[in-house]
Amino acid sequence: MNELTVSDLVERFGNKLDLRWISGRRHADKRALSVASFRARPSLVGYLNLIHPNRIQVLGREELTWLDQLGAKKRWETIAEICAERPAALIVAGGGDIGDDLEELARDNETPLLRSARPGWELVSTLQYQVARALAHRVVVHGVFMEIFTLGVLITGDAGAGKSELALELLTRGHRLIADDSPEFTQMTPDIIDGTCPEVLRDCLEVRGLGVLNVRRMFGDAAVKPNKFLRLILHLHHPQRGEESSVDRLAGHSETSRVLDLDIPRILLPVLPGRNLAVIAEAAVRNFMLRMKGFDATADFLQRHGRFMRHE
């Protein structure tokens, strides 16, 4: 299971979120965040919650005001209860007053305590996203990941199927490259998979006979994109002899492919001499987008054909 310690968290995002240590820094390596499910409760990051304590408790203006309204004894007991749950960290947002009792109890319970001048909503939203991304399940899938008509499309196929050549043709037609050869996919939520490019392969596309091409230098900054949600897979397929006759002429060949915990729609594109795969790939993506909007060309044709036959 992936883990992220509080020390790692501050090192990665401390400057961006203006995080400053108050106490507990030497215990930060012992407090870690981990996740087994995106539906787990309590959440990893959130505002102060005594019923389902978050692993990172953020005390914004409203939470501090609520604590200030408690009597001295009740305030002490409440803060002691918060620290007794052993949160990964407490963060006081908006430059609010820490309070001697909060600092003392955090130190006694070895709880990492930080403060930030940033508002609470910014800390919670940013940390929720960054922590979920850092702990999410990842997988590397062989293929070329591109943005085609604003859609994240993974082009797969056997070695020599023409994936990179197709990607190159699509680039000349105005589409964008995200990653070649080894795109990395991360499951951000139960229904979203985000695809990115490893740092070492960024902007590069390998084409047989040409070697490695730098797409950014050749086509400009607009030809590359850092990430995109995976929505569709186009699989380049060399049909065997006689296999063409088994393909559904009306609906083509569509199925799903499992990526992490999601079934992603996959369309098989037969690789045959004389076919313009770039045009076919664009048509496949456009047709998929129409299906997402509720229009099915095959069903529409069959209904029209049925009406015609009944009329005859």
Catalytic annotation, residues = 142, 163, 181, 249
As a whole number of angstroms, the distance between CA 163 and CA 146 comes to 11
CB count, 10 Å around CB of 210?
A: 11
Helices 6-17, 120-135: axis angle to 10 degrees equals 130
Are 85 and 54 in contact, with CB atoms under 8 Å apart? no
Q: Which of 207, 201, 262 is nearest to 229 (CA)?
A: 262
Q: 43 CB contacts (<8 Å, ≥6 apart)? A: 52, 54, 55, 128
The phi and psi torsions of 232 (rounded to 5 degrees) equal -150, 150
Are 18 and 7 in contact, with CB atoms under 8 Å apart? no
Please state, in angstroms and as integers, the Cα–Cα distance from residue 259 to each residue in 154, 177, 233, following that order: 11, 20, 10
